[in-house]
Structure 1
Amino acid sequence: MRIVVAPDSFKGTVDASRAADAMARGWASVRPDDEVSSAPLADGGEGTLDVIARSVPGATYHDVPGCTGPDGRTVTGRWLALPDGTAVVDLAQVVGLPRMERPDALGASTRGLGEVIGSALDAGALSLVIALGGSASTDGGAGALSALGLALLDEAGEALPDGGGALERLFFADMTDLRRPPAGGVTLLTDVTNPLLGSTGSAAVYGPQKGAGPDDVARLENGLSRFAGVLGGAPDAPGAGAAGGTAYGFTVAWKARVEPGAAAIARLVGLENLLAGADVLLTGEGRFDATSLHGKAVGEALALAAHGPRTAVVAGTVAARSALDALGTWHCALSEIAGSDAAAVAEPERWLFDAGARAARELGGPTSAA
């Protein structure tokens, strides 16, 4: 049998590559004669750089010390150079929520993202891919664009401090010194379709996840509205609200193009070709819920396998069993086989191995293995 193991990361516990390897080893422990291929996935969020690096021969990492983390502390950024001259930057790697010591919805900034992008431009990047996901901030990408030369001024002509909370004092944006995008253009990988503003916008939907209370959400919404009023563009465009509105900022200032991250990365790793003639797709993520089939890596993998191999989902928790049952997809929750969420989180690779072995026993059919 041919098996394709293609999970996303199990956020906060294990990255996609380690998850894929653990499940693949689990399957092989039961059916050692099967052909098992690992194809870790991402959707523009956590782990995107590592997934692309593993999939593209000749890709090289470049570290950028001294970057500004989302809360102002110094961090080391990183970007990935592809052989064709494309630079790939992962927002979460430098200004993601895990980089915060404590949530600061009003003060968190994307400045470090702009610093990493600047390093890639200095190195001669011909085009740019920015993976948007896991942001700690709701600043519309203002911090990143400021690091690239955009001047954001209040009514007195003073530069605004970083953070989405400061945008409600924005009066004027001067693009005179803003660096030009690379000649090959800029692509933004997103896993959401939210607009910038309103009840389904960046502040209202994702602000509370970043520590924003009701008053903070109102201030962030007001600031993003001011930002949109000054910059123009299309704040209502699908995906403009990605990464605290960073997608909006770059589409306006740099004419960047928004693309669903899961589909783009699945193409990059050649998932459709791997699935051709495969017998089983084994995918997974930290939590499978109602959103997993819409713009997420697991949903993209299941869609590509719709008329091909049998499918299986392993997740830390499964909150939408009926959706998987409707697809005829075998599923397994690590929290259940480990006995609790805490046990699953403490030893994720142990339970991913076990889940892979269970899938092999239940989906693999007869085997000659001892």
Structure 2
Amino acid sequence: MTRVLVAPDKFKGSLTATEVARALRRGLNAAAPPRQDVEVRCLPVADGGEGTLDAAVAAGYERVPARATGPTGEQVDTAWGRLDDTAIVEMADVSGLARLPGQELAPMTATSRGTGELVAAALDAGVRRLVLGIGGSACTDGGAGLLQALGARLRDRQGEDVGHGGGALGDLAALDLSTLHPRVREVELVVACDVDNPLTGPHGAAVTYGPQKGASGGQVTVLDANLAHFADLLADETGKDLRDSAGAGAAGGVGFAVVAALGGVLRPGIQLVLDLLDFQRHLEGVELVVVGEGTLDAQSLRGKAPIGVTRLAREAGARVVAVCGVNELAARELERAGIEAAYAISDLAPTPEASMRDAAFYLERLAAEHLPRHV
């Protein structure tokens, strides 16, 4: 019996990782002639951003439904994951760009409050370890909303709570962490983070990622100044200034809040998620692993999901093949990464629009036509 593990990341804007994995499995199972001695298993993966919760659930975590504050203050139906005493919270699912009403960007007012509400729910449930995936956020509020949801008091000069978003941080006059959730210091808090930006400055959260979240040049300047002001007050409160630490600028500054105010630690996203999924156990007896993401490029080689999976697969003695929407890597680069071949939808689809629209159809074709030769 030849065992194949299909472990792709999402194809952003097109298919979730679970949908990608299912399409590839259908293609492999439909290959002619069918192989009765091939067992295909699916284990979608993620790097801490969108799809992290789905990957955890596919690996055995319980999905815990919740209702929380979306990025612009509306209530959204979301969830967090639990396995024994470990919880997973995916920021993208509650405070992410996909949660913006009508997809209208809100650079000055989007809040991380809902993410904090999910963290609080997990703390109330008694977990001992909490993993926070912070990719795909819609906000640039320095994690202020998250801290407010966990009980911190952020007040203006009139003693009122400051409003939502990074734009409101200019009104901040006083910050009090003594009212934080009583269990927040009792748990191991780990953040899946794949960027090393500081909180402020030319490489900070506002300048680097603000435009992607809809901020104009003038708004970027205001947000950067407001984040610096927030960092000043948090440094006064905690006695340490961590605004320049690697990853502080992640998710609009949520990385900063978790490390500086909550004592959390940042870890590379794919490594952390694969550890949580107990990925090495799923590799037992596997001879071929199929990895994938929307675009295989130089950024992929810097530690994104397909490369993280490939590294563990090769260590376990399995061969690796990749599928993608577009492949920008040369054969030599793929070989150095440990991938013996890569197959792209763009080689089949007549247009980029068709690649996106009919991705599942083309993935089935790729799997049926190319993957059997590697089994």
Question: Would you say same fold, with TM above 0.5?
Answer: yes
**CA apart distance, 1:277:** 5.7
Deviations 1:45-96 (A, max 9, x none): 111111112213xx3222222x21101222113112212x222211111111
Q: What amino acid does structure 2 have at the position aligned with 1:309? A: A
Q: What amino acid does structure 2 have at the position aligned with 1:324? A: L
8 Å contact 2:185–2:262 — kept in the other structure? Answer: no
Q: What amino acid does structure 1 have at the position aligned with 2:358? A: E
Superposed, 1:61-140 pairs within 5 Å as 61-65=63-67, 67-83=68-84, 85-100=85-100, 101=102, 102-140=104-142
**CA apart distance, 1:132:** 1.0
Deviations 1:233-267 (A, max 9, x none): 41222222221110110111110111112012222
8 Å contact 1:195–1:202 — kept in the other structure? Answer: yes
Match of 1:367 in 2: none
1:253 aligns with 2:253: no
8 Å contact 1:125–1:182 — kept in the other structure? Answer: no
8 Å contact 1:127–1:182 — kept in the other structure? Answer: no
SS in 2 for 1:331: strand
1:340 aligns with 2:340: no
Match of 1:46 in 2: 50
Q: What amino acid does structure 2 have at the position aligned with 1:97? A: L
Superposed, 1:273-352 pairs within 5 Å as 273-275=281-283, 278-306=286-314, 308-321=317-330, 323-324=333-334, 326-327=336-337, 329-352=340-363
Q: Give the stretch that moved more between structures: 185-194 or 265-274.
A: 265-274
- Alpha-carbon RMSD across the aligned residues, in angstroms, is 2.1
Identity %: 38
Q: What amino acid does structure 2 have at the position aligned with 1:51? A: A
8 Å contact 2:185–2:263 — kept in the other structure? Answer: no
SS in 2 for 1:225: helix
| Closer/same/farther in 2, CA of residues 80 and 348 from structure 1, 3 Å limit | same
SS in 2 for 1:81: strand
Q: What amino acid does structure 2 have at the position aligned with 1:37? A: R
Partner Cα separation in structure 2 for residue 249 and residue 203 of structure 1? 15
SS in 1 for 2:348: helix
Partner Cα separation in structure 1 for residue 229 and residue 314 of structure 2? 44
| Closer/same/farther in 2, CA of residues 298 and 185 from structure 1, 3 Å limit | same
8 Å contact 1:107–1:163 — kept in the other structure? Answer: yes
Match for residue 371 of structure 2 among 336, 346, 360: 360
**CA apart distance, 1:119:** 2.1
Aligned length: 360
Match of 1:207 in 2: 210
| Closer/same/farther in 2, CA of residues 241 and 345 from structure 1, 3 Å limit | same
**CA apart distance, 1:326:** 4.8
Match of 1:188 in 2: 191
8 Å contact 1:121–1:182 — kept in the other structure? Answer: no
Partner Cα separation in structure 1 for residue 279 and residue 125 of structure 2? 31
SS in 2 for 1:239: coil
Deviations 1:21-58 (A, max 9, x none): 211221232252323232211110111111112213xx
1:222 aligns with 2:225: yes
SS in 2 for 1:353: helix
Give the TM-score normalised by the residue count of structure 1. Answer: 0.90
**CA apart distance, 1:141:** 0.9
Partner Cα separation in structure 1 for residue 173 and residue 369 of structure 2? 59
Q: Give the stretch that moved more between structures: 45-54 or 155-164.
A: 155-164
Give the TM-score normalised by the residue count of structure 2. Answer: 0.89
**CA apart distance, 1:341:** 2.1
Q: What amino acid does structure 1 have at the position aligned with 2:76? A: V
8 Å contact 1:278–1:309 — kept in the other structure? Answer: yes
| Closer/same/farther in 2, CA of residues 310 and 258 from structure 1, 3 Å limit | same
Deviations 1:200-231 (A, max 9, x none): 22222211111112222211211111121111
Deviations 1:262-304 (A, max 9, x none): 0122223333344466433211112222221223211211222
In structure 1, the gaps of 5 or more residues are 365-370
Deviations 1:92-129 (A, max 9, x none): 11111011120111111111111222222222333322
